Structure 1
Amino acid sequence: MNYLPDRFIIGFLPGVTPSTALRIISQVGGLTVIDTIPVLNVYVVKVAPSLLNIKMTIISNFSGVDYVEYEGILNATLTPNDPLFSQQWGLLKINSVRAWNVTRGSTLVNIAILDTGVQTNHPDLVDKIILSQNFSASSTAEDLNGHGTHVAGIAAATTRNDLGVAGLAINPKIMNIKVLDDNGSGTFSDVAQGVIYAAQNGAKVINLSLGGPMASATLQNALQYAKDNGVLNVAAAGNLNSNNLFFPAAYAQCLSVAALDQNDNKASFSNYGASWVDVAAPGVNILSTLPTYANSQGATNYGSLSGTSMAAPFVAGLAALMLSLNSDVNAVQNTIETTTVQLNGTGTLYQRGRINTYAALLNI
């Protein structure tokens, strides 16, 4: 089951007041409001599992209700691998060293990592994190899973500090926005609230190394809100070795990223499909930060993981560097796409090729 059996989401039309929305919910009966997303006029309600579908049908017929949908579950898009790999081949492959001669980015550009949290006192991240917020079912914004800390390090670990690994976005900062619990799962509404929070609190890039097979109007509307507010959304294409749509990557509001191995071949696990996968980036045996304490990934301090989750933050880091030079999100996305390196599979597996940080920065 890809959704929670005891709750669902109600989206009301613009102009429906909270009092009217609550009255409609009350009229249906058997529903308890457990969360709201005011910007989207959305209410998350709890219901007896046996009544889930009938209550969804009843309330969908009320005037003022825009849509009703399941409270779907999204998961971190990670394929675990040997954590002892000790070279950052991905940074070299995408031409980062030359790119840093163009810019190392601005400290005013923030990358929001929407994930399992980020270890806020990790020695290689502590100087980069400007805020932490928790929308997940976990009791803490800290990363007990390890996935989010790894993703954050790829995008923006502290560079040139004689310690650990280098992050692509040298000067941009990290926003730790936890939307996945300690097992790596989160709901549509959790992630949507994280997206809106990021957009309202100064994010220029949102990295979504998460996803699932179910679509969500709530999450898509949140991503549109972020885009309308000058944010570039980057999402992992998923690890099912499938061309079936994977969300949120398949939304037009996201720049979707497939994973490559060291030979520029599609990673064996990576989803694909030129109709919805935009670009590709390194995603196999990627060395990055891991929590300094015990976590679900096994290794501590640093380690290598594989997944489209690892490919997405390369693109997020590049976007942050580019937005330091040009704040036009559409121009940045277009330049990322049009400066890629053509690969076998361009036009079939992915719409474009592998990102090229140097070329992108020269052309923005």
Structure 2
Amino acid sequence: MNYSPDRLLIRFRDNTPPQKCAQIHRLANAKVIRDIKELAVQVVETDPFQINTCLQCYSHCDEVEYVEREAIVQKRLVPNDPLFPYQWGVMKVVATRAWNITRGSTKVPIAILDTGIDMTHPDLQAKIILTANFSNSSPLQDLDGHGTHVAGIAAAVTRNGMGVAGLAINPTLMNIKVLDDDGTGTLSSVVQGIVYAADNGAKVINMSLGTTAFSATLHNAVKYAQSKGVLMAAAAGNDGLNQQNYPAAFAQCISVAAVDLNDTKAIFSNFGASWVDVAAPGVDILSTMPTYPNRTGPQNYGYLSGTSMATPLVSGLAALLLSLNQNPKVVRQTIESTTVSIIGTGVLYQYGRINAYNALLNLPR
């Protein structure tokens, strides 16, 4: 489990005077570097050699509701070589028949919290309606490639005579960069991205990222987004273990595992019916890649594997359903109750593999 060597997250109890908060920060020898006002959480920085002493200082103050380490969050990706000449994942979830029922709506924005999106990509640029950068890397563009790939799976422009088809077809995209150019980032960056997306009208938040570290701050962020009517999908992780990853393990998120072409759990995918909700195709998935050199490798289009690739299929499906029924609770129940039972259902995942056509047929109107 990785943590930032010099950062903590602190929430003071309600009605603690600002002067008292400042006094405690001084006693702890820490400096506030971020203030997430919506969650009443502050990010502080201290000497790495004094991090444990600083943590104990806050812990012993009655005015502190909680203090926790700043976890490092990582993308959920297993890159490998192309194996398939077509988008088998979209076919597997019966998207082509689903599109006869709806092609989604531009009024259902999907926020991609990731390494950024190539905003010049011809299969994506027309979809991006909002951009923000909460990462520690200054360029807004995706220099890693992961975020661009995820965005294309969910909502690449369809029927434009080029490239790939996004599952959600019409929904727009919010490019919210929370991971640095090396594919890692701080938990507070993700938290700020969640809050920003929720406050700016996102209907779906895709988080193809995670950490094994439980965080009350992250939990508060997803609860905040849920209170705003946002449906969230998050990657279960690629450790091949029954090991909870966050935010996927929070009840407010749909936790997504990856399966292969034969509906078998991907060897890298995390599992566990107590916290993983559904499965989706996540092996050798074709999607958009940056049109310029990037850290992951392929340019323009390429194949990648991971629970990162499975998650935007769920986000795309959620967007399709929300275009016909605006109740996120009903949409989530429909996604989960209309899955296809596969080997591991009820053991590896609570439900089965998603099926877009089944979900749209059974969506309450």
TM-score by length of 1: 0.98
| Shift in CA distance, 163/41, structure 1 to aligned 2, threshold 3 Å | same
Query: Aligned pair 1:64/2:63, yes or no?
Result: yes
- Comparing 262-271 and 323-332, the one that deviates more: 323-332
RMSD: 1.1
Mapped to 2, the partners of 1:17 and 1:313 lie a distance apart of 43
Q: Could you tell me how far 1:327 is from its partner in structure 2?
A: 1.3
Who is 1:259 aligned against?
258
| Shift in CA distance, 19/295, structure 1 to aligned 2, threshold 3 Å | same
Who is 2:7 aligned against?
7
| Shift in CA distance, 84/339, structure 1 to aligned 2, threshold 3 Å | closer
Who is 2:193 aligned against?
194
Who is 1:309 aligned against?
308
Query: Aligned pair 1:348/2:347, yes or no?
Result: yes
Q: Secondary structure at the match of 2:79?
A: coil
Mapped to 2, the partners of 1:86 and 1:18 lie a distance apart of 59
Q: Could you tell me how far 1:50 is from its partner in structure 2?
A: 1.6
Contact 2:258 2:266 (8 Å CA) reproduced: yes
Mapped to 2, the partners of 1:144 and 1:83 lie a distance apart of 21
Who is 2:249 aligned against?
250
Who is 1:21 aligned against?
21
Q: Secondary structure at the match of 1:11?
A: strand
Percent identical residues: 61
Contact 2:28 2:57 (8 Å CA) reproduced: no
Q: Could you tell me how far 1:13 is from its partner in structure 2?
A: 2.4
- Comparing 293-302 and 83-92, the one that deviates more: 83-92
Mapped to 2, the partners of 1:344 and 1:120 lie a distance apart of 39
Mapped to 1, the partners of 2:19 and 2:255 lie a distance apart of 38
Q: Name segments (4+ residues, structure 1) moved above 6 Å.
A: none
Contact 1:115 1:177 (8 Å CA) reproduced: yes
Mapped to 1, the partners of 2:360 and 2:254 lie a distance apart of 17
Deviations 1:4-44 (A, max 9, x none): 11111111223335444223222x24111111100111111
- Comparing 309-318 and 59-68, the one that deviates more: 59-68
Deviations 1:236-275 (A, max 9, x none): 0000000011111111111000000000000010000000
- Comparing 198-207 and 52-61, the one that deviates more: 52-61
Who is 1:326 aligned against?
325
Mapped to 2, the partners of 1:93 and 1:54 lie a distance apart of 53
Mapped to 1, the partners of 2:335 and 2:18 lie a distance apart of 41
Mapped to 1, the partners of 2:187 and 2:73 lie a distance apart of 7
Q: Secondary structure at the match of 2:204?
A: strand
Number of aligned pairs? Answer: 363
Mapped to 2, the partners of 1:208 and 1:176 lie a distance apart of 12
Mapped to 2, the partners of 1:85 and 1:122 lie a distance apart of 22
Letter matched to residue 345 of structure 2:
T
Q: Could you tell me how far 1:178 is from its partner in structure 2?
A: 0.3
Query: Aligned pair 1:41/2:40, yes or no?
Result: yes
Contact 1:84 1:303 (8 Å CA) reproduced: no
TM-score by length of 2: 0.97
Who is 2:153 aligned against?
154
Deviations 1:315-343 (A, max 9, x none): 00000111111111111111100000000
Q: Secondary structure at the match of 2:78?
A: coil
Letter matched to residue 4 of structure 1:
S
Q: Secondary structure at the match of 2:258?
A: strand
Mapped to 2, the partners of 1:293 and 1:38 lie a distance apart of 37
Letter matched to residue 170 of structure 1:
I
Q: Could you tell me how far 1:84 is from its partner in structure 2?
A: 6.3
Mapped to 2, the partners of 1:62 and 1:194 lie a distance apart of 29
Q: Secondary structure at the match of 1:127?
A: helix
Q: Secondary structure at the match of 2:112?
A: strand
Q: What are the residue-to-residue correspondences of 1:63-82 with 2, within 5 Å?
A: 63-82=62-81
Who is 1:104 aligned against?
103
Who is 1:232 aligned against?
231
- Comparing 3-12 and 288-297, the one that deviates more: 3-12
Q: Secondary structure at the match of 1:193?
A: helix
Structure 1 unmatched runs, 5+: none
Who is 1:218 aligned against?
217
Mapped to 1, the partners of 2:285 and 2:194 lie a distance apart of 26
Letter matched to residue 298 of structure 1:
G
Mapped to 2, the partners of 1:18 and 1:192 lie a distance apart of 22
Mapped to 2, the partners of 1:134 and 1:17 lie a distance apart of 31
Contact 2:236 2:256 (8 Å CA) reproduced: yes
Letter matched to residue 182 of structure 1:
D
- Comparing 8-17 and 97-106, the one that deviates more: 8-17
Deviations 1:48-104 (A, max 9, x none): 112111111111222221110000001000001114642100001001011011111
Contact 2:115 2:146 (8 Å CA) reproduced: yes
Q: Secondary structure at the match of 1:25?
A: helix
